[in-house]
Amino acid sequence: MAVRRHAVILAGGAGERFWPASRAKHPKPFLKVLDGKSLLDATIARARRFASRDCVWVVCGMEHERNVRRATGLPAKRVLVEPERRNTAMAVGFAAVHIGADDPDAVLAVLPADHAIPDAAAFVRDLKLAATAASDAGALITLGVQPTRPDTGYGYIQVGPAASRQHPRLRRVRRFVEKPKAAVARRYLRSGSYLWNAGIFVFTAAAILEEMEVGAPELAKALAPLRRSPRVRSGDRVRRVYRRAPSLPIDVAVMERSRRVWTIPVSWHWSDVGTWLSLAEELGVAPGESRILDGEVVFDDQGGNLVWGGRRAVALLGVEGLAVIDTGDVLLVTKLDRSPDVRKIVGRLKQQGREDVT
């Protein structure tokens, strides 16, 4: 029997570093920042090339269910709604239990909803290769992106020897490394044996649930009631399960602990579009070159800026390397290279109870 491929899109992240465009009620996956499409739209489009129509799933929070369904056109039964946010391990576990109930050998590709991967064809080719290997070998496969700069905002994967004769491109993973310091990141880049951890994973439902038993027993224990009634996908039982579930990233809960983890090194362009800076890079902002996401820039003598202008005419004089983001109720002006700290602003505003602007 051919491998049954499913795409499980995780749309749970808030994208706080995209404030003020990204808000609690309108988070990052819904932002139309690349070619006028939302990141979620683009992810769905890629997923459709990997999985058949009835094998594309989205996992999201209750507050986003309506928006997800409107944006994607998915039927209710393929939107898995989490009653509380419990990080990615639980989201993947929920999907694996649900999909695996019908077909434990189904291959799941776990795809964050808010990444940029311009070369969809190359991406889908490698994802299918990973799916075949995951199916053949029962491995947990993580996509490892060839780094192009010593980025300190990504986690890294140290590549080990070839994983199997049958799948020569697959490699064992020696270890996962958290976001490194700059000097360490430079060493990784030079060494050639480190890849970016893109947070894109491929495994069978059976394999990931088994490895959760081993690596994250408290998670497996929380999932047990769902496994006993895998067709229950909402209501009190799911709420009780979520209330008790640990909040863990899938990387930490399973991938970093499992002995069955392989990686497929890929060289196509990928970005998690995590900050205004990385979006600026995606859009081609460079010294002297500004990019306008929306609105009208009537003057900009230096360039090198990212502007989301809303309904105002924007004039920039003598400034460069800035993001100017105007959402009508909030105006953010930040140095692009400081934009990862935008989450500090959001954190402080939340502390102050400013739901009106977060």
Site residues, its own copies (CB under 8 A): 20, 298-299, 301, 309, 312-319, 322, 324, 326, 328-335, 337-339, 341-342, 345, 348-349, 354, 357
> Which are the contacts of 92, defined by CB distance < 8 A and separation ≥ 6?
8, 10, 59, 108, 110, 201, 208, 250
In the bound state with its own copies, the residue whose beta carbon lies nearer, of 62 and 298, is: 298
Length of the chain: 358
In the bound state with its own copies, the residue whose beta carbon lies nearer, of 121 and 315, is: 315
Beta bridge partners of 261: 140
Tell me the three state secondary structure of residue 58. Answer: strand
In the bound state with its own copies, the residue whose beta carbon lies nearer, of 147 and 153, is: 153
CB of 274: closest distance to its own copies in angstroms?
A: 16
Vertex 232, ends 227 and 103: CA angle to 5°?
A: 55
CB of 305: closest distance to its own copies in angstroms?
A: 9
- How do beta strands 156-162 and 291-300 pair? unpaired
Angle between helices 217-228 and 205-215 (to 10 degrees): 130
Q: Alpha-carbon distance 81 to 98, whole Å?
A: 12
In the bound state with its own copies, the residue whose beta carbon lies nearer, of 221 and 335, is: 335
CB of 85: closest distance to its own copies in angstroms?
A: 25
CB of 337: closest distance to its own copies in angstroms?
A: 7
CB of 307: closest distance to its own copies in angstroms?
A: 9
The count of other CB atoms within 10 Å of the CB of residue 271 is 20
> Which are the contacts of 190, defined by CB distance < 8 A and separation ≥ 6?
none
In the bound state with its own copies, the residue whose beta carbon lies nearer, of 129 and 297, is: 297
In the bound state with its own copies, the residue whose beta carbon lies nearer, of 135 and 334, is: 334
CB of 30: closest distance to its own copies in angstroms?
A: 21
